[in-house]
Chain A
Amino acid sequence: MNASQIAKIGNDVRRRVLLAVQHAGAGHIGGVLSAADMLAALYFRILRVDPARPDWPDRDRFILSKGHCAIGLYTILALRGYFSLSELDTFDAIDSRLQGHPDMTKLPGLDMSTGSLGQGLSPGIGIALGARMLGKSFRTWVMLGDGEIQEGQIWEAAFCAARYELDNLTAILDWNHLQQFGWATSQGYASIARRDPLDQAREKWEAFGWNVFECNGHDVEEFIAVCDAAVAAKGRPSIVIAHTIKGKGVSFMEHDYTWHSRPLSKTDVDRAFAELGY
């Protein structure tokens, strides 16, 4: 599938996520919209997976460490054919397989349960180490949020992955420049302006011994090219630092921390759909 087709799928993810969140009455939005294009590229181009065989032992693994963006992952899994698109309407409902945060005991296709931030990279290391022990050639991918890498465990994991030279592990950092509440700028907390959750991302990961790649996380072609380069790089784990926009695609959600998670009105959805071209 080519980049422009994948970009269309990314946009479809946005539409379906807004519908699912509206239907559920609540949900995370901003960080899903920032990751949508990358999720589309991963599941329709980059990952070696087979929706008919979610337990295929040689599949690539994907862990959404920023587990609060579960609805984005569910949507791309449904679009890829892991389960029916109509099931997205059950998001957050009682007895649903689509829990608020990914639950691998309920839904096939999830390679790890996540949600408590900062915990996704370590299982990725365990999988990558295990793959090496078992002589498996599949690759492990972990998507991180920029806010969650404030957690200390991420840096325990960053150190460990480099120590074991895990070149079968690739992290993707969705650097959307906002977190749930964030630190105020000089304008104070009454303003919606916020400081970046992170600074010197490249220097930090390089200092921990990782290969660092950067790209625009909304440019599908560039993202795929950079992921290919990350896969080809040997001897160290790699991270793709993807520069993204929180709330991407919907003007009134972009760059606004209050859209991290909130209920959507019908008016909100109508306005958003008009902007997304639906």
Chain B
Amino acid sequence: MLAQRDAFGDTLVELCETDSRVVVLDGDLANSTKSDKVAVARPDRFLMMGIAEQNLAGAAAGMSTLGLIPWVSSFAAFLASRDLDQIRVVVAQPRLNVKFAAHYSGLLTGYTGKTHQVVNDIAIMRSLPNMTVIAPCDAEEARAAIRAATLWDGPVYVRLTRDPIATITQPADTFEIGKARLLRAGSDIGIISTGTQTVRAMEAIKLLANDGIDAALLHVPTIKPLDESAIVDLARRVDCVLTCEEHSVLGGLGGATAEVLAAAYPTRVERLGIADVDGESGPNDALLHKYGLTAQHVVARARRMLARV
């Protein structure tokens, strides 16, 4: 069990040692987002920018024009909404080389309630031209995604979560921006998931296998650019598709999958995610249960789709 935010802090310290272009800009959340590891190890590469997210994003944009690679570290809720115009106008439109570490995404934000939870950031970010959107499934993949994003030419939004989660990615697994990973082949139902919801989906396919249901699991860490051929290939091999994400059912991976399959290979698709509602404060287990994101919810939904209740 490792937290993506710890992986973020450690990886950025490592990148600051190996790449002289890397700089971390913090919105006064360094001890939450673990960019404090950089602040301590490499104070020369760390800039505390205050509780001022609009200036934070704009400053990063300017810095990137000098060939530096600024990592903007803040909460996803603030980056995707408060900073949207700055990201749109001075980062995405000019396609500047700014990286966003969007921490505390989804519902599991440590008892913050809806103001600090963002459940539609994938939908917002993937609708911006030039933006790349990645939601890694665990700490190991977060490390790889952060390294890849640093080397990617253009803006990248990396969606990260707060709390420790089981590691399902092996250090030997390759990570490539824009590539999905088939974690299990199967013929009854194709489950497509992103972010840390993939860890719960992994648990779900094991439970389904115990019931004799042969479910495939395609993990899609890059929501944009989307690995459309992997999604279509999966759809060709199964009866129906269920998307899973700790995100709104509107416009996220579910929306992206439905858009692809509607055009390329019409398939029955259902979307498991957060209904069109805001979150609330609460323990993680209670939140996952109430908003329908546990492995058991994935199992129940898959069984219902297959009429094997």
Bound Cα distance A125, B65 (Å): 12
Q: What does DSSP make chain A's interface, helix, strand, loop or mixed? A: helix
Give chain A residues whose Cβ lies under 8 Å from the Cβ of B54: 119, 122, 152-153, 156
- A149-188 interface with B by 8 A CB criterion: 152-153, 156-157, 159-160, 163
Residue in B59, B94, B95 whose beta carbon sits within 8 Å of that of A126 in the complex = B59
Asked if A126 and B50 make an inter-chain contact with CB atoms under 8 angstroms apart, the answer reads no
Bound Cα distance A112, B94 (Å): 8
A133 beta carbon closer than 8 Å to chain B:
yes
Asked if A122 and B85 make an inter-chain contact with CB atoms under 8 angstroms apart, the answer reads no
Asked if B58 and A123 make an inter-chain contact with CB atoms under 8 angstroms apart, the answer reads yes
A98 beta carbon closer than 8 Å to chain B:
no
Other than the given A113-B89, A123-B58, A157-B55, 10 more pairs (CB < 8 A) read A112-B65, A113-B90, A121-B58, A122-B61, A123-B59, A126-B70, A129-B63, A133-B68, A152-B54, A159-B52
Give the most central of B23, B85, B89, B95: most A CB within 10 Å.
Answer: B89
Asked if B85 and A116 make an inter-chain contact with CB atoms under 8 angstroms apart, the answer reads yes
Asked if B89 and A123 make an inter-chain contact with CB atoms under 8 angstroms apart, the answer reads no
- Interface membership of chain B positions 87-104, coded 1 if the CB is closer than 8 angstroms to chain A and 0 otherwise: 011100111000000000
Residue in A105, A122, A134 whose beta carbon sits within 8 Å of that of B66 in the complex = A134
Give chain A residues whose Cβ lies under 8 Å from the Cβ of B44: 133
Residue in A122, A125, A136, A160 whose beta carbon sits within 8 Å of that of B86 in the complex = A122
A92 beta carbon closer than 8 Å to chain B:
no
Asked if B65 and A111 make an inter-chain contact with CB atoms under 8 angstroms apart, the answer reads yes
Residues of A within 8 A of B (CB): 57, 61, 63, 103-105, 111-116, 119, 121-131, 133-134, 136, 152-153, 156-157, 159-160, 163
Residues of B within 8 A of A (CB): 23, 44, 47, 49-50, 52, 54-66, 68, 70, 85-86, 88-90, 93-95
Give chain B residues whose Cβ lies under 8 Å from the Cβ of A134: 66, 68
Query: What are 21 A-B contacts with C-beta separation under 8 Å?
Result: A105-B94, A112-B94, A113-B89, A114-B89, A115-B89, A116-B89, A119-B85, A119-B90, A123-B58, A123-B59, A123-B65, A123-B90, A126-B58, A126-B65, A127-B62, A129-B47, A130-B66, A153-B54, A156-B50, A159-B52, A160-B59
Asked if B59 and A122 make an inter-chain contact with CB atoms under 8 angstroms apart, the answer reads yes
Asked if A119 and B59 make an inter-chain contact with CB atoms under 8 angstroms apart, the answer reads no
Query: Please, which residue of chain B has its CB at the minimum distance from the CB of A151?
Result: B54
Residue in A114, A119, A127, A156 whose beta carbon sits within 8 Å of that of B63 in the complex = A127
Bound Cα distance A127, B60 (Å): 8
Give the most central of B47, B90, B93: most A CB within 10 Å.
Answer: B90
Give chain B residues whose Cβ lies under 8 Å from the Cβ of A129: 47, 59, 63
Bound Cα distance A133, B16 (Å): 13
The 10 closest A-B pairs by CB, nearest first: A122-B58, A126-B62, A123-B62, A126-B59, A156-B52, A126-B63, A156-B55, A153-B54, A127-B62, A130-B66
